Chains A and B, each alone.
Chain A
Amino acid sequence: MQQAVGARTIESRRTPWLMVLPALLLILAINIVPLVYSTVLAFFQWNLIQAATPPRFIGIDNFIRLITRDPQFISATLNTGIMVVATVAVQTVLGVAVALLLDQKLRFTGVATTLLLIPLALAPAVVGLLFSSLFNSTLGPVNYLLNAIGLPAPSWLGDAKWALASVIIVDTWQWTPFMILLTLAGLRSLNPEPIEAALVDGASAWQRFRYVKLPMLLPVLTVAMLLRAIDSFRTFDLVFLLTFGGPGTSSTTMSFYGFKVGLQNFDIGRASAIAFLMVQVFIIFVLLFYSRSKDQL
């Protein structure tokens, strides 16, 4: 009897690890090893096209070149920063506003809520293709509508001042529904008591939102904003199909630039250095995410 219990304890102590073992091994092989490999490559000069020249260790030269002598990298970094800040800000504000609307006792909100899922179902590549047609400066319906109501109709994708904005607008189109639906779910699960109490106290609709609902929504909104920031930081598909990084380099993001360097010029070392720097920024996001989301997830 004693022995049986002992065996049982060992079994149950081992079982949890046996259950995660396949996943951990797989993650080690396909996530961790490639990440380490990529980090190592960042310190080498290696161009795949010159089959004859093997990789050569060059220390931190790739990084020095990126930061001091590569204006395209700097502009890609700036573009990515603008992209992250703009998409998160716009999508959050719009998302909360529309969610409040859908939370009113209106008819058809059910259908509307369901239809909002559609943009989320589309591949970003599909969305890019779709909007390259919608944003066509002469034939696209967007400019037709703008002209019809007397607004200036810019050359969205053909003007360096508008190309990045176009990418941001399209990303906003695709992902605002996510913020809307998430906020709506949050609103509907709020504890009604404080809201009713505020109503009794004669608080206006705005006051009820600002001082009662918003603070209660904030934790889940923060997580959602961080998730959007992290996604927006990696933007690639949209740029590829919408602008291909142009005009000039005005809509080139870090991911897109890394792709160009690594997989069009086959400059593996420099592209790995770009990836390495991106991972460092990503880690900052993750730390923020961890500190904000521990209780949410």
Chain B
Amino acid sequence: MKPKPLVRAAQYVALLVVVVVFTAPTLWMLLGVFKRNVEHRAHPPVLIPSDPIGAASDTIRFAFEGSPVPLDQVFVNSLVVALGTVVVTLLVGTTAAYSFARFRTGGGSLPFFILTLRMAPPIAVALPFFLVFRVLGLLDSQLGLIIAYTTFNLPLVIWLLRSFFRELDPSMEEAALVDGASRWQSLRHIALPLAIPAIASTGLLVFIFSWNEFFFATLLTSSDGRTIPALLPLFLPRSISAGQPLGASFFIAAVSAVPMIILVLFLQRYLIRGLSLGAAKE
């Protein structure tokens, strides 16, 4: 039963609208880097910048020179914090996930209880972190943020990898056990190699969540420890001098966004699986 041509046409128009609505804002952000101030203020909005190269180079130069913390350092902070969180959560989370999947350790409710910590309102742990970190000297440090980000990423890692290990056929591991291998050995040599793609995807998810985090970053850093999102408010038009490139905030936003967009294109549907905590299977 083929739909009528008119219906088909309407469907294509709707599809076009959907694509434009969900992509145009991101393009507007990228476009902002290439505009002069007069174009930022122009009415109607400017879609084709007059001097994109010159404007972008001025904008970027201003972002580097004007940044209250060197931009490369902020970038490195973001990278170290995100990678650090990935390493910590995967190291600690993988064996736990395996154990929960294979042995139903702690029954069915313990993993679920852990999962809920992923969703708890961050303000509930933020104040204690602030109070304890100031005593331990962890404020404005990369380690402090890694600890904070582990609170909500470790539960995610455990939950996602648990559901993955459960889908893995246990017969090969059982065969190894019969042959005299220990549980650790069968995890190390049989389950783990099979799980590499899932672990990598989960790691990427953790990386994205940590890279994009704003609340703790604002709260727990003040100067040298800032990450890219925490730098954003400093480049809003109200924080820079009149006449400075208004594109600077778009540039910082793009520095944050573009690497993540690329990562997400690689993750594809695993992203939805991760975001839905496994409710949507690949």
Chain A: residues with CB nearer than 8 A to chain B?
Answer: 11-12, 15-17, 19-20, 22-24, 26-27, 30-31, 33-35, 37-38, 41, 98, 101-102, 104, 106, 108-109, 111-112, 114-127, 129-134, 138-141, 144, 173, 176-178, 181-182, 185-186, 189, 220, 223-224, 227, 230-231, 233-234, 236-237, 240-241, 254-255, 258-259, 262-263, 268, 271-272, 274-276, 278-279, 282, 285-286, 289-290, 293, 296-297
User: What are 9 A-B contacts defined by CB distance under 8 Å?
Assistant: A19-B96, A20-B96, A20-B99, A130-B28, A139-B41, A263-B130, A268-B127, A285-B119, A297-B277
Smallest distance from the beta carbon of A209 to chain B beta carbons, Å? 15
Residue of A nearest to B27 (CB): A118
Interface status of B257 (Cβ within 8 A of chain A): yes
Question: Are A114 and B268 within 8 A (Cβ)?
Answer: yes
Question: Are B150 and A16 within 8 A (Cβ)?
Answer: no
B interface size (C-beta, 8 A): 100
Extra pairs beyond A20-B96, A115-B22, A129-B249 (5, CB < 8 Å): A126-B257, A129-B236, A181-B272, A185-B269, A297-B115
User: Which residue in A114, A134, A259 is a CB contact (below 8 Å) of B25?
Assistant: A134
Question: Are A274 and B123 within 8 A (Cβ)?
Answer: yes
Interface of B, secondary structure class, is helix
Smallest distance from the beta carbon of A124 to chain B beta carbons, Å? 7
Smallest distance from the beta carbon of A271 to chain B beta carbons, Å? 6
Question: Are A34 and B125 within 8 A (Cβ)?
Answer: yes
Interface status of B211 (Cβ within 8 A of chain A): yes
Bound complex: CA of A133 vs CA of B123, how far in Å? 28
With most chain A CB atoms within 10 A of its CB, the pick from B119, B122, B218 is B119
Interface status of B242 (Cβ within 8 A of chain A): no
User: Which residue in B21, B211, B233, B276 is a CB contact (below 8 Å) of A182?
Assistant: B276
Smallest distance from the beta carbon of B205 to chain A beta carbons, Å? 11
Chain B residues contacting A279 (CB-CB under 8 Å) are: 120-121, 124
Given A22-B96, A144-B43, A144-B44 in contact, is the A262-B232 Cβ separation under 8 Å?
no
User: Which residue in B93, B214, B261, B265 is a CB contact (below 8 Å) of A240?
Assistant: B214
Interface status of B135 (Cβ within 8 A of chain A): no
Residue of B nearest to A276 (CB): B124
Chain A residues contacting B236 (CB-CB under 8 Å) are: 129, 132, 241
Chain B residues contacting A123 (CB-CB under 8 Å) are: 211-214, 229, 256-257, 260
Bound complex: CA of A231 vs CA of B276, how far in Å? 11
Pairs A-B, 5 closest by C-beta atoms: A123-B212, A19-B99, A23-B96, A34-B128, A16-B103
Chain B residues contacting A259 (CB-CB under 8 Å) are: 123, 215, 219
Question: Are A34 and B129 within 8 A (Cβ)?
Answer: yes
Question: Are B123 and A278 within 8 A (Cβ)?
Answer: yes
User: Which residue in B112, B117, B212, B272 is a CB contact (below 8 Å) of A31?
Assistant: B117
Smallest distance from the beta carbon of A261 to chain B beta carbons, Å? 10
Chain A residues contacting B19 (CB-CB under 8 Å) are: 111-112, 115
Smallest distance from the beta carbon of B115 to chain A beta carbons, Å? 8
Smallest distance from the beta carbon of B282 to chain A beta carbons, Å? 8
Bound complex: CA of A236 vs CA of B214, how far in Å? 9
Interface status of B281 (Cβ within 8 A of chain A): yes
User: Which residue in A132, A182, A234 is a CB contact (below 8 Å) of B272?
Assistant: A182
Question: Are A118 and B124 within 8 A (Cβ)?
Answer: no
Chain B residues contacting A106 (CB-CB under 8 Å) are: 8, 11-12, 15
Question: Are A130 and B29 within 8 A (Cβ)?
Answer: yes
Residue of A nearest to B159 (CB): A297
Question: Are A241 and B102 within 8 A (Cβ)?
Answer: no
With most chain B CB atoms within 10 A of its CB, the pick from A120, A123, A236 is A123
Residue of B nearest to A272 (CB): B127
User: Which residue in A12, A112, A124 is a CB contact (below 8 Å) of B18?
Assistant: A112
Contact with A along B247-278 (1 / 0, CB 8 A): 00110010011001101110111011001111
Interface residues of B in 93-121 (CB under 8 A from A): 93, 95-96, 98-100, 102-103, 105-106, 112, 114-117, 119-121
Smallest distance from the beta carbon of A175 to chain B beta carbons, Å? 9
Chain B residues contacting A98 (CB-CB under 8 Å) are: 18
Question: Are A26 and B92 within 8 A (Cβ)?
Answer: yes
Interface status of B193 (Cβ within 8 A of chain A): no
Question: Are B279 and A237 within 8 A (Cβ)?
Answer: no
